Structure 1
């Protein structure tokens, strides 16, 4: 309880710093159509404290305590008409205790820097993005905890399997406003540091991804969004799609890993991979109810050319109260992986229940119970499990 009180006090004391709302775009960022009146610079800071009280049946005993606080610093600049750049830096993370540049990228909402009006008919509804960042595969990456950036996630922990990658990319997003739809296509090298690429090792393989979505306010109080994403890569030895996080997991010391034990890289070592990801989001302002569902199917071959298939799904419900200041949330997740030559399928099941409280637009607290089980995974030699509670407090300004 003393540690819990310290977290609460830290937030209460720092609330005086939270004097500017940090804008959170739930999904894709809208086009920037504002006029250019000179270079504009903006910045944002995230700071999160987390206390964990977890138990597990594999690996060393986990001691209750406060984890290393995490912090981010983001710099954004508008440098030309419709041309914005962003630099994301992790000041402290569970995997990189020292300052680490997560990535940087540019978004172009017009091509007037080539000459005024260039490709205007296309660019009126398009955005081109290039750099190093989260690739836009699925919708889950918009809702996950990203190091200290936790406001968008109603839970403390992320899912047990994450189709999520930070890498170099180039993508084009095209909107069709009259249909409430959009389409997107992109390419990625799967690498944050291209100097790691070695010829002849398959590391120079490029992945291709695409996304199509329908997002509509079907009534005054109800928004529905349905998206389908696809990712494809061949002849690679860098299986990054399910191990793309550079910050480390929220909980520490899970299953003998300091930083990445809480998330299962279910198809580790793939050579060829095709994955599809379907997401449904429903938000009803009138009742304060929110639903987010995911269904993912992936198949391919490993480095030994053995087949595998993964089926992964999750469903979460968030109920908000008191003018969205308070909420309760629950999530269920399951995944099975069938591997050539294995008698039994590998399986992960995770469920989470939590409560959240927005002390202000810039400060919040969460408490959560999490239970994760993994079965039939040969590397463990037994069925493994961790469960317990976590508490976090966060500032974003």
Structure 2
């Protein structure tokens, strides 16, 4: 028994040593998964890693959240259905009595407190030749997919060793092919992605969360060390799709459907002006003319880190679940079948002070918006900005504030007769805004502890909607590991 225990301990140490060795590998033209990856956007063509053979780097991320957030609304009475008299505008977190009714003291508010499901990512970076890198991303555990889930994978080519590494390609060109996140906007380099939250100073992402994975390719040109130009084309789907596209039918008749590719581009200027001053500005555009299910703003397979905030207790008479209803606190613009999006993202870092912001303009539709063979495009705008100050040795401590505001026209949301000053049957135009304050501490480059206070308000929702005159606020504590 003792010999078996000793063997187990020795084997564990050997495996740990192997893991440390593998995770310590340096891969060309890539980004670290720890603190060193903060404020890294597209990897530079000025790479200092020398190729000395095949390498494998295994990286991982882990996040554990604790939350105490209270949601409130007016909960105006609207029956779930003709046969179900329960108010559909009650919030999740209600306590049922033994007779099946809800306790009155929970009818308009709920406090969701406790530890959330831990999220974890597993990454494989593989250097297969000089300037050629393969990347495989996986979700080991997330709110939406509790089981192991492959996020995507791609090959990135920065050199052409099979053609004796022509200088023009090595210095100025990059090609990326596979199933990956389209390079739209700059917040993607900061956002929380399942267990990978070390780059985000706050606990959550934006209200309109631009994230998806699609199959295709991107071509990058770096004409100077400060300028990047990118063009890309993808399938427009979050996964593979080879089946014929069925026609969609709405109240106005048949809507002709087809599959169109997503076409997108990006221009970025990024310059270290002085030793202590860095300035970056990027502009992105993304367009899909017709898709059965585009997910540019609905492609996150991990879920919000605000669990069950401002969610209805029931959806169509079925109890809300944390796993299925995983986008708590976010907005879906409802542009799954046609979308055009534009983003501008400025970034300034002066010593320990960081200013990060952006503007999104989104226009799009779903098939239900088509009337008389004309697409009715609904519009959304989002503005966001954050101030973060990092200090102490190696910027191991930070404080910050972020403000986000989104205004737009949700799919299928109309004003009714009870909405004073609004036209009955008119498309609703709503606003949601969020203010967050955060502080964080890095004990090491691989560990981060965050504390956040958040407050979010919902405005101009219809009287009959559960978000009418709604808001939530509370605290988040987040422990993060990245390696």
- Counterpart of 1:275 in structure 2 is 341
Match of 1:395 in 2: 481
Of 67, 70, 75, the match for 1:55: 70
Larger Rg: 2
Bigger mean CA deviation after superposition, 234-243 or 149-158:
234-243
Q: Aligned partners of 1:351, 1:251: CA distance in 2, in Å?
A: 14
Offset, 1:342: 3.2
Q: Distance in 2 between matches of 1:318 and 1:231?
A: 29
Find the aligned partners of 1:332 and 1:196 in 2 and give their Cα distance.
41
Match of residue 38 from structure 1:
53
Q: Say whether 1:329 aligns with 2:400.
A: yes
Does residue 116 of the first structure (1) align with residue 164 of the second (2)?
yes
| 1:1-397 mapped onto 2 (5 Å cutoff) | 22=34, 23-24=36-37, 26-31=40-45, 32=47, 34-57=49-72, 59-61=91-93, 62-113=111-162, 115-117=163-165, 120-177=167-224, 180-195=226-241, 198-200=244-246, 202=257, 204-254=259-309, 255-256=311-312, 258=322, 259-265=326-332, 267-285=333-351, 288-303=352-367, 304=369, 305-323=375-393, 324-338=395-409, 342=426, 344-378=428-462, 380=466, 382-397=468-483
Q: Is the 8 A contact 2:112 2:308 kept in 1?
A: no
Deviation readout 1:334-375 (Å, 9 max, x if unpaired): 111147973652111111111101111111100101112223
TM-score by length of 1: 0.88
CA distance in 1, matches of 2:50, 2:444: 31
> Is residue 118–residue 141 contact of structure 2 (8 Å, CA) maintained in 1?
yes
Which range is displaced more, 221-230 or 169-178? 169-178
Question: Aligned pair in 2 of structure 1 residues 168, 380: CA closer, same or farther (>3 Å)?
Answer: farther
Deviations 1:236-276 (A, max 9, x none): 231311111111111212314621122111x2144322211
Deviates more, 1:368-377 or 1:166-175: 368-377
Shift of 1:381: 6.2
| Cα separation, 2, equivalents of 1:132 and 1:384 | 38
8 Å CA contact 2:63, 2:118 repeated in 1: yes
Whether contact under 8 Å (2:232, 2:265) holds in the other structure is yes
8 A contact 1:237–1:269 mirrored in 2? no
Unaligned runs of 5+ in 2: 1-18, 25-31, 73-89, 94-110, 248-256, 313-319, 370-374, 415-424
1:277 Cα deviation from its structure 2 partner: 0.2
Assess, with a 3 A threshold, how the Cα gap between structure 1 residues 150 and 309 changes in structure 2: closer, same or farther: same
Q: Distance in 1 between matches of 2:190 and 2:242?
A: 30
Would you tell me which structure has more strand in proportion to its own residues?
1
Task: Report the Cα distance in structure 1 between the residues aligned to 2:113 and 2:130, rounded to whole angstroms.
Answer: 51
Relative to structure 1, the CA distance from residue 160 to residue 210 in structure 2 (aligned partners, 3 Å threshold; closer, same or farther) is same
Write the distance in 2 (CA, Å) between the matches of 1:125 and 1:138.
Answer: 21
Alpha-carbon distance in structure 1 between the residues aligned to 2:409 and 2:112: 35
Report if aligned partners of 2:238, 2:299 keep a CA contact under 8 Å in 1.
no
Tell me the distance in 2 between the aligned counterparts of 1:356 and 1:34. 31
TM-score, normalising length: structure 2: 0.73
Relative to structure 2, which stretch is displaced further, 359-368 or 163-172? 163-172
CA contact (8 A) 1:133 1:168 kept: yes
The offset of 1:87, in angstroms, is 0.8
**Gap change, CA 1:249 and 1:198, over 3 Å in 2:** farther
Question: What SS does the aligned partner of 1:244 have?
Answer: coil
1:178-204 Cα deviation digits (max 9, x unpaired): 5x1111011122333214754245473
Would the aligned equivalents of 1:197 and 1:203 in 2 still touch at CA under 8 Å?
no
Give the drift of 1:218: 1.3
Which consecutive residues of structure 1, in runs of 5 or more, have no partner in the other structure?
1-16
Q: Is the 8 A contact 2:213 2:239 kept in 1?
A: no
Partner Cα distance (2:426, 2:223) in 1: 46
After TM superposition, the structure 1 stretch with the greater mean CA deviation from structure 2, 301-310 or 355-364, is: 301-310
Distance in 1, Cα, partners of 2:401 & 2:467: 30
Does structure 2 retain, via aligned residues, the 8 Å contact 1:203–1:238? no
The CA RMSD over aligned residues, in Å, is 2.4
Per-residue CA distance 1:279-307 (angstroms, 9 max, x = gap) = 0000011xx11000101112234322222
SS of equivalent residue, structure 1 residue 227: strand
